[in-house]
């Protein structure tokens, strides 16, 4: 069964502050500050891609803080596209925040088109403000938007957010956030069915917190999620996501990828 397993570049959210992150905002701000200067962008983005490929990944989920539409110039985008081609990796999704307005969402769309039209696997409040404009931009740029469940506590809340939107709008299932909310992520996958456009496969240590961990060390039924994806006929990408605040997750990311490949070999076709 062929799935595309990818490396989430947000796994490195705490890297620029030495894995001493008080909260996500600290890591986000430090990452943007590190990557925004055009004078060093080629070197730093090259190192990011080399890290992913060095761990055995040929596909990535590019976090917007590594190429943020709020600061990315045409030169930034050109450098990123050039290096992605050099490293022979594919951008499966553009992950993160896409702004609060239609104009901000349009800037994200332009970056996504340059990257080869990956899935937009994140969030934008522009959907609630001007749904028609978001749909028009998705249609214009031939993109798909998969809302990632962060505040949504259940599949029902996610389906309510999507509403009766066309098929190019769905969800990027973050299994870890369903775990944080105390909702069975495998059940969510089955209930979301064809609306699942992408998957962030993540485990967390406990309900009510978002402390990510190695698969099997937390409360998310990760292997059950893999079986649920097979059950609904999902054949898209699966992102290895693990963003601890206080240590380098490299070894656990490699272990997670190995476990995922083993589970995928054993799920029924």
> Residues for the chain: how many in total?
269
What's the pLDDT band for 269 if we cut at 50, 70, 90? low
Report, as an integer, the average pLDDT of 110-137: 98
pLDDT at 2: 72
The domain limits of the chain are 4-266
Question: Is-contact 240 256, C-beta < 8 A?
Answer: yes
Torsion from C-alpha of 128, 132, 138, 140, nearest 10 degrees: -150
Instruction: Answer yes or no: is pLDDT of 79 > 60.
Output: yes
Is the pTM higher than 0.95?
A: yes
DSSP state of 63: E
Tokens of 98: 């896409």
Question: Is the model's pLDDT at 268 over the cut of 80?
Answer: no
Q: What is the chain's mean pLDDT, rounded?
A: 97
Options 1.10.287.70, 3.40.50.970, 3.20.20.150, 3.30.450.40; CATH of 4-266: 3.20.20.150
**Per-position DSSP letters for 197-243, written without gaps between them:** EEEEE-EESSTT---EESTTSSSS-HHHHHHHHHHTT--SEEEE---
């Amino acid at each position: 069964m062929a799935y595309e397993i990818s490396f989430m570049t947000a796994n490195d959210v705490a890297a620029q502050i030495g894995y001493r992150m008080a909260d996500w905002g600290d890591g986000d701000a430090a990452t943007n500050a590190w990557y925004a200067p055009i004078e060093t962008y080629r070197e730093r983005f090259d190192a990011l891609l080399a890290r992913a490929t060095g761990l055995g990944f040929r596909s990535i989920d590019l976090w917007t803080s590594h190429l943020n539409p709020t600061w990315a110039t045409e030169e930034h985008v050109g450098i990123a596209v050039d290096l992605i081609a050099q490293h022979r990796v594919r951008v499966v999704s553009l992950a993160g925040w896409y702004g609060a307005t239609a104009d901000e969402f349009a800037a994200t769309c332009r970056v996504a088109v340059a990257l080869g039209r990956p899935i937009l696997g994140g969030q934008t409040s522009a959907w609630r403000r001007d749904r028609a404009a978001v749909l028009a931009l998705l249609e214009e740029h031939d993109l798909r938007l998969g809302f990632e469940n962060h505040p949504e506590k259940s599949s029902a809340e996610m389906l309510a957010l999507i509403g009766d939107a066309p098929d190019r709008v769905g969800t990027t299932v973050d299994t870890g956030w369903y775990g944080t909310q105390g909702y069975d992520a495998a059940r969510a996958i089955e209930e979301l069915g064809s609306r699942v456009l992408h998957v962030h496969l993540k485990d967390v240590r406990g309900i009510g917190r978002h402390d990510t961990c190695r698969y099997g060390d937390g409360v998310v039924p990760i292997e059950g999620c893999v079986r649920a994806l097979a059950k609904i006929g999902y054949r898209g990408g699966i992102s290895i996501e693990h963003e601890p605040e206080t240590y380098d997750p490299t070894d656990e990311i490699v272990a997670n990828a190995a476990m995922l490949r083993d589970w995928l070999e054993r799920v029924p076709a």
